[in-house]
Amino acid sequence: MTSSPIHSPRRRGRSIRRGLALAAIVAGVLSTSLPGASAAGRHDDQAQLRRDADAITALGVTGVQARVITPDGRNLTVTSGVADLTSRRPVSPNGYFRIASVTKTFVATVILQLTGDGRLSLDDTVERWLPGVVSGNGNDGHAITIRQLLQHTDGIHDDYPDYTSAKDFYRHRYDTYTPEQMVARAMRHQPDFKPGKNWRYSNTGYVLLGMIIQRVTGHPWHEEVRDRIVRPLGLHHTFWPGTSPKLPQPHAETYQKFQPGKPPVDVTKQVGSGTNGEAGLVSTTADLNRFFRALLGGRLLPPAQLTQMKHTIPVSKEFQQLMPGARNGLGLFSRPLSCGGTYWGHDGGDSGWITADGVTADGRRSVTVSLSGVFADSADDVLRVAQAESKLVDDALCKAPNAGRTPR
């Protein structure tokens, strides 16, 4: 989830500037199941998932793909809306998309693996690993720990490039930014608060974590993600595209409205500034389900590190408005389920794309949903999309008996 975590190029709250698109039509629905699974249960799950996906496109979202993995291994997918406003081709259930801030959970997992290996400590300061990088205007790397970067309590101010118009988008969509450039932008500002004294979502904090991974291992963050997570789990459709502005096929196009009343602009082909660990990965719903199930199922972290990751703190009131009950761990968020208990996940928003995911505490039932072409004219529009997205995740996970019954 990006800072105001619903719907933005880098921050979902910025999508208030985007307008409403045409209401989309329902596309194909696909599903598979293991032999012997209950047909009635499968159809009930599928029907609810379809209703929830349709409710999202009814709000003006161009396209939706959603996938649920059940405890008995059933793989349920639905799509709604269209992948392209021109051809109106259906959304693929296997489409690639930029996962934006969901990348943060991958980065956090690598950091915690390194702590488990004894190569760094969560209480190490930023200054220890990146001397002189966080300094000036009251910023002090001596006072900020790796734990605070992971949990968004570092106080560093975000300063990210953003497109202000269609003309601006076309002029700058292939611009690239190094981690050092992104941190330098943040250092032009005073901190938002003293480290450890408040909570505010920080993309720059995860850029710094990516830099720390490289300093500790000698390899870029995305190579460590590849070697420690992607390859061991067989995530064959998850990768870092680098400076390529293109996505593999199949994929849905995504759109923005830069001003209310203006036509939508196809913004699918771009590099974007968020490629340095705060965002940057491309994936699919199938791969993200596999990742989160493995993470919460204890396959990626030793018990001590997974426990640290799941130690949560309260988030800001602004965040609570969009995600009621959310609490922040280390690269993970917890949220209450309507049926009782808690689920875990991390959302992301990037130029009209939104990714939401959730997994029960035992890692046995999971859901991932990708939205493309998300527009909003007002804060109320943003809230309605957020509520519809949250309902889909909650309905999918509450099919599991005693879903996620662990303390927060």
Instruction: Note whether residue 407 is domain-resident.
Output: no
Q: Does the pLDDT at position 33 exceed 80? A: no
Interval 13-22 mean pLDDT: 33
Interval 26-39 mean pLDDT: 35
Q: Does the pLDDT at position 76 exceed 70? A: yes
Instruction: Note whether residue 2 is domain-resident.
Output: no
What is the tens place of the pLDDT at every residue in 147-206? 999 999 999 999 988 888 999 999 999 999 999 999 999 999 999 999 999 999 999 999
Instruction: Note whether residue 371 is domain-resident.
Output: yes
Q: Is 336 helix (H, G, I), strand (E, B) or coil?
A: strand
Q: Does the pLDDT at position 236 exceed 60? A: yes
Q: By the 8 A CB rule, do 150 and 310 touch?
A: no
Q: Does the pLDDT at position 221 exceed 60? A: yes
Residue span of the structural domain in which 145 resides: 12-397
State the virtual CA torsion across 278, 282, 288, 291 in degrees, nearest 10. -70
Kindly state the helix (H) or strand (E) to which residue 333 belongs, with its residue range. Answer: strand 333-336
Give the CA diameter of the chain: 64
Q: By the 8 A CB rule, do 338 and 325 touch?
A: no
Kindly state the helix (H) or strand (E) to which residue 75 belongs, with its residue range. Answer: strand 75-81
Task: Say which residues have a Cβ less than 8 Å from residue 100's Cβ, sequence separation at least 6.
Answer: 2, 10, 274, 279, 348, 349, 350, 353, 355
Over the chain, what is the mean pLDDT?
Answer: 88
pLDDT of residue 42: 62
Instruction: Note whether residue 406 is domain-resident.
Output: no
Instruction: Note whether residue 405 is domain-resident.
Output: no
Looking at per-residue pLDDT, the higher value among 33 and 252 belongs to 252
Q: Does the pLDDT at position 401 exceed 80? A: no
Interval 129-158 mean pLDDT: 98
Interval 331-344 mean pLDDT: 97
pLDDT of residue 18: 32
Q: Does the pLDDT at position 402 exceed 70? A: no
What is the tens place of the pLDDT at every residue in 60-69? 999 999 999 9
Range with the lowest mean pLDDT among 37-51, 84-98, 288-302, 359-373?
Answer: 37-51
Instruction: Note whether residue 42 is domain-resident.
Output: yes
What is the tens place of the pLDDT at every residue in 344-382? 999 999 888 999 999 999 999 999 999 999 887 778 888
Whole-angstrom distance, CA of residue 340 vs CA of residue 175: 46
Q: Which backbone phi and psi does 342 adopt, to 5 degrees? A: -140, 150
Instruction: Note whether residue 404 is domain-resident.
Output: no
Beta bridge partners of 96: 251
Whole-angstrom distance, CA of residue 342 vs CA of residue 322: 17
Q: Does the pLDDT at position 290 exceed 50? A: yes
Half-sphere exposure in the Cβ direction for 228 (13 Å, CA)? 23
Beta bridge partners of 370: 65, 355
pLDDT of residue 373: 94
CATH number of the domain to which 60 belongs: 3.40.710.10
Whole-angstrom distance, CA of residue 322 vs CA of residue 223: 33
Instruction: Note whether residue 284 is domain-resident.
Output: yes
Range with the lowest mean pLDDT among 16-30, 165-179, 283-297?
Answer: 16-30
Q: Which backbone phi and psi does 110 adopt, to 5 degrees? A: -60, -45
Q: Count of domains in the chain?
A: 1
